[in-house]
């Protein structure tokens, strides 16, 4: 069995629009769960998942949420024993935590909801695992197996900590499994 390449493990935004997964585009601001969108989240660009934290939001320790999907686009191999973790985070700014959605991995075009859905970015999702901030694959949040052409939702929580302003505050989120890594 050949390994799944990093280019075959994709992050995609979520969308609350439509009646099935992989049928609609989305943006970071509208990535509030339900279905996988057709829009990739590349990660690494300024404000590509969350907007800037305002002074008021920082002072009140606002908490924001986003739902993104891990998509195994490999055509032959299951992403086995997948885990997600924070492989890098800018110090001194907001804190990031991740949780797995309780809905099992599903085909990307599934008509059944593929993740919980929230009404606004400050609404905590229900039906998700415990949020944590693992910094190694060994302590990562377990996603289980993600089959060929399947997807699994993860939730990202950003908490402002009333800190001094930080330029380019951010995080790198990684996924690995026994058969491939991103």
What's the rounded Cα separation, in Å, for the pair 94 and 74?
34
What's the rounded Cα separation, in Å, for the pair 47 and 80?
31
pLDDT at 46: 74
**Which of 69-83, 137-151, 164-178 is predicted with the least confidence, judged by mean pLDDT?**
164-178
In this model, does residue 90 exceed pLDDT 90? Answer: no
Residue 163 pLDDT level (bands cut at 50, 70, 90): confident
Over residues 87-105, the mean pLDDT reads 90
């Amino acid at each position: 069995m050949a390994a799944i390449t990093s280019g075959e493990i994709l992050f995609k935004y979520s969308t609350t629009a439509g009646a099935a997964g992989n049928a609609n585009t989305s943006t970071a601001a509208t990535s509030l769960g339900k279905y996988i969108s057709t829009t990739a989240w590349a990660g690494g660009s300024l404000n590509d998942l969350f907007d800037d934290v305002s002074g008021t939001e920082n002072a009140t320790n606002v908490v924001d949420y986003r739902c993104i999907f891990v998509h195994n686009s490999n055509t032959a191999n299951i992403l086995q024993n997948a885990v997600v973790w924070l492989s890098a985070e800018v110090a001194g700014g907001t804190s990031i935590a991740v949780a797995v959605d309780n809905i099992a991995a599903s085909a990307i075009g599934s008509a059944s909801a593929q993740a919980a859905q929230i009404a606004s970015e400050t609404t905590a999702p229900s039906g998700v695992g415990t949020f944590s901030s693992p910094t190694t694959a060994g302590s990562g949040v377990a996603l289980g197996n993600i089959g060929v052409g399947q997807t699994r939702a993860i939730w990202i929580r950003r908490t402002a900590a009333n800190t001094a302003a930080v330029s380019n505050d951010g995080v790198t989120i990684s996924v690995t499994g026994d058969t491939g890594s991103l």
